Structure 1
Amino acid sequence: MLLREANARLTQSELAHLGTGEVGYIRKMRFDEISRCFPEAPEVDPRLDLWALFGADGTPILLTDNRSSTFYKAAEDELQTVSLH
């Protein structure tokens, strides 16, 4: 039985939704990524360090210049967080 579970494969759709509603990821944003990920974001100073919180499926949740705010929002939404570099 363990061998079968080890060989189990996720479909692309299952993989895309893995962790949805349970996991979020935090990462620093480059200025040129902002409009693509957050199209409604106001114009920002390109020298500012910006941080974003995304759902496990890549859904943008929060964009801020305060890294701590991303953790606060994740906790508020009951998401376990991971950081991406």
Structure 2
Amino acid sequence: MDVKFDFGTVEGERIVYVRPVAVADLPDEVRAHAGNREVIWAVHDADGEQLALVADRRMAFLLARENDCAPLSVH
């Protein structure tokens, strides 16, 4: 089944996706800011565009909610 579905918004909020990112997979200039972390968290819009990188999952969810977005985990 290859049908696009517009998930739209949840209770008026825009959906964003939160996922872990291995620091080793990031560009050098980003790794320099990651400190000793092995994993940081990315927030993406519905089209997959990265909106933010943050230190931990909790912060990613807080950031999303502060910007009127509905965060969902991606594994």
The TM tier, using the shorter chain, reads 0.5 to 0.7
**TM-score when scaled to structure 1?**
0.60
Structure-1 separation of matches of 2:59 and 2:52: 9
Per the alignment, residue 69 of structure 2 pairs with: 79
Could you tell me which runs of 5 or more consecutive residues in structure 1 were left unpaired when the two chains were aligned. Answer: 1-8
Per the alignment, residue 27 of structure 1 pairs with: 19
User: How far did residue 34 of structure 1 move?
Assistant: 2.5
Q: Does 1:41 align with 2:33?
A: no
Q: Percent identity?
A: 26
Q: Does 1:68 align with 2:36?
A: no
Does the CA-based 8 Å contact 2:22-2:38 persist in structure 1?
A: no
Q: Which has the higher helix share?
A: 1
Counterpart amino acid of 1:41?
V
- Runs of 4+ in structure 1 displaced over 6 angstroms? none
Structure-2 separation of matches of 1:47 and 1:68: 15
Q: CA RMSD in A?
A: 2.9
Structure-2 separation of matches of 1:23 and 1:40: 28
**TM-score when scaled to structure 2?**
0.66
Does the CA-based 8 Å contact 1:19-1:56 persist in structure 2?
A: no
